[in-house]
């Protein structure tokens, strides 16, 4: 086949990028096209996204891709973070800038919701983990405040939906991003209308739920003229970035009610879970605070959000402010020289969410829990990484309990695959085979979903075959004595709350 080029527009909370994927019928080759910064805009007391600025960057990146790839550019699609949304009036007017998920308006909103609908009922209708930033609590905050914007709103579009509407003029709510909202019922595969009604939220704000692979149509004539790109189709990937990352897991095993593999989408956050055909909604899942989010091919991502390499990133940032700007390789070497399995933190303790001084917070946690205090920088990094690996072991056990079977392989995808030290620790802590790669998982999953929609590959199974051929992976086998990690895990569990 002639080589086709797809364009992934991957928007993160701190940066965005356009990545082109050239597909020759056998392998996918990536190239960076355009990168830009993103972030919150503060206008006291609120936090917003600069949606018009992002829209300008999206168009600039499309123009750059058109200049580079011309007539080979076949389609494009957008993925973003979850939960946030824009509201449109009946005439299509965008009603203000979308709020940032860290906006303080949602403080105490979960408790207000539970006063109206019990926590267990909310979980039964949505299967989603409880986080204050979820769309449900953002909407409840607007309702309780009597927001005139909410009263005027005719339709709600999650962030990637909003940009796809700007690109094509077509409205809809893509499945994977909708499932992050806590307004969607993954069991009925529709909006949680009873829950929304009881909380005073209009269900008619939400639109048709569209599956990944849906072809939305061509760019509008205005966008085509502004970007100089003609004949390019817009295709829905898994628009939640984690859904696209999981699409890129290079497995040859189909989704199963008893999966033998799990994934860790590793970066600032670690998202660890399994791909299953149906949601797991029961009391134990609720007690463990796991989430059922949509995946590609109509699957469900049963997963847990875990604090990830944020721990190390924040340590590095603090030390740089103090005048010691250590590179990643240098930090790895420091950690390698530190004494192993000495002290542990619980990575998901709220202390580590946004401390002003991460190294000191790690030391304080160890001191307050009666453990040896990591004094050197290497000891602090080692403590953070080993604690993450042990947290993975804990979540692995919970996953095995929820699906009722043993998981043999842990697939690590995303930027965290470059931390070989953490990958090896994960293999040792979990006593499982770890397969690391691809690094650019979100972009790869976005691009290959476009290839499926175009008919250039048959289905998701074949797309994953292409991914295995196209990108190197590295395998890690347990090499440290299991008894050492078993003893460490027993000590870790004393502080895992």
Interaxial angle between packed helices 358-368 and 377-403, expressed in degrees from 0 to 180 and rounded to the nearest 10: 70
- Asked if 447 and 18 count as a contact pair (C-beta separation under 8 A), the reply is no
| Gap between the terminal Cα atoms of the chain | 54
Q: How many residues does the chain have?
A: 497
User: Annotated catalytic, 456?
Assistant: no
> Measured between alpha carbons, how far is 166 from 216 in angstroms, rounded to an integer?
12
- What are the distances in angstroms from CA 199 to CA 85, 192, 203? 18, 11, 10
CB-based contacts of 483: which residues, under 8 Å, 6+ apart?
none
Catalytic member of 10, 84, 161, 241: 241
Written as six digits, the tokens of 322 are 């103090």
Angle between helices 109-116 and 119-126 (to 10 degrees): 90
Cβ-contact 261, 408 below 8 angstroms: yes
Secondary structure in 3-state letters for the chain: CCCEEEEEEEECCCEEEEEEEEECCCCEEEEEEEEEECCEEEECCEEEECHHHHHHHHHHHHHHHHHHHHHHEEEEEEEECCCCEEEECCCCCECCCCECCCCHHHCCHHHHHHHHCCHHHHHHHHCCCCCCCCHHHHHHHHHHCCCHHHHHCCEEEEHHHHHHHHHHCCCCEEHHHHCCCCCEECCCCEECHHHHHHCCCCHHHCCCEECCCCEEEECCHHHHHHHCCCCCEEECCCCEHHHHHHHCCCCCCCCCCCCCEEEEEECCEEEEEEEECCCCCCHHHHHHCCEEEECHHHCEEEEEEEECCHHHHHHHHHHHHCCCCCCHHHHHHHHHHCCCCCCCCCCCCHHHCCCCCHHHHHHHHHHHCCCCCCCCHHHHHHHHHHHHHHHHHHHHHHHHHHHCCCCCEEEEECHHHHCHHHHHHHHHHHCCEEEECCCCHHHHHHHHHHHHHHCCCCCHHHHHHHHHHHCCCEEECCCCCHHHHHHHHHHHHCCCC
Residues with catalytic roles = 241
């Amino acid at each position: 086949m002639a080589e086709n080029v797809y364009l992934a527009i991957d928007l993160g909370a701190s940066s965005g990028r356009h990545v082109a994927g050239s597909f020759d019928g056998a392998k996918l080759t990536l190239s960076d096209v355009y990168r830009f910064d993103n972030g919150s805009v503060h206008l006291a007391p609120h936090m917003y996204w600069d949606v018009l600025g992002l829209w300008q960057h999206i168009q600039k990146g499309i123009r750059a891709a058109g200049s580079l790839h011309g007539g080979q550019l076949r389609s494009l699609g957008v993925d973003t973070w979850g939960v946030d949304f824009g509201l449109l009036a009946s005439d299509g007017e965008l009603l203000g800038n979308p709020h940032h998920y860290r906006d303080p308006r949602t403080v105490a909103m979960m408790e207000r919701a539970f006063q109206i609908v019990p926590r267990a009922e909310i979980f039964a209708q949505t299967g989603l983990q409880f986080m204050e930033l979820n769309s449900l609590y953002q909407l409840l905050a607007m309702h309780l405040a009597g927001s005139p914007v909410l009263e005027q709103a005719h339709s709600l579009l999650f962030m990637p939906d909003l940009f796809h509407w700007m690109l094509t003029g077509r409205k809809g709510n893509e499945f994977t991003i909708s499932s992050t909202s806590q307004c969607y019922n993954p069991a009925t595969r529709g909006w949680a209308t009873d829950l929304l009604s009881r909380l005073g939220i209009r269900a008619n704000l939400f639109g048709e739920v569209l599956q990944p692979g849906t072809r939305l149509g061509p760019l509008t004539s205005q966008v085509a003229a502004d970007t100089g790109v003609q004949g390019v189709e817009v295709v829905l990937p898994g628009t939640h970035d984690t859904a696209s990352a999981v699409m890129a897991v290079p497995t040859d095993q189909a989704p199963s009610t008893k999966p033998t593999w799990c994934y860790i989408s590793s970066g600032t956050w670690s998202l660890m879970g399994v791909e299953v055909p149906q949601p797991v909604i029961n009391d134990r899942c609720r007690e463990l605070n796991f989430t059922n989010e949509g995946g590609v091919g109509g699957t469900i991502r049963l997963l847990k959000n875990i604090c990830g390499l944020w721990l190390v990133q924040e340590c590095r940032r603090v030390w740089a402010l103090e005048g010691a700007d250590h590179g990643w390789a240098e930090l790895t070497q420091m950690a390698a020289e530190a004494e192993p399995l000495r002290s542990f933190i619980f990575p998901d303790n709220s202390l580590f969410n946004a401390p002003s001084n991460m190294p000191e917070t790690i030391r304080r946690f160890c001191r307050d829990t009666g453990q040896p205090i990591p004094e050197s920088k290497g000891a602090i990094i080692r403590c953070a990484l080993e604690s993450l690996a042990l947290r993975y072991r804990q979540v692995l056990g919970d996953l095995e309990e929820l699906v009722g079977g043993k998981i043999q392989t842990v697939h690590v995808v995303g930027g965290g695959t470059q931390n070989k030290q953490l990958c090896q620790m994960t293999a040792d802590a979990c006593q499982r085979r770890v397969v690391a790669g691809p690094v650019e998982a979100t972009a790869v999953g976005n691009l290959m979903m476009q290839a499926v929609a175009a008919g250039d590959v048959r289905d998701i199974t074949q797309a994953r075959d292409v991914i295995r051929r196209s990108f190197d992976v590295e395998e890690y086998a347990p090499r440290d004595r299991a008894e050492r990690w078993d003893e460490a895990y027993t000590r870790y569990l004393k502080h895992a709350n």
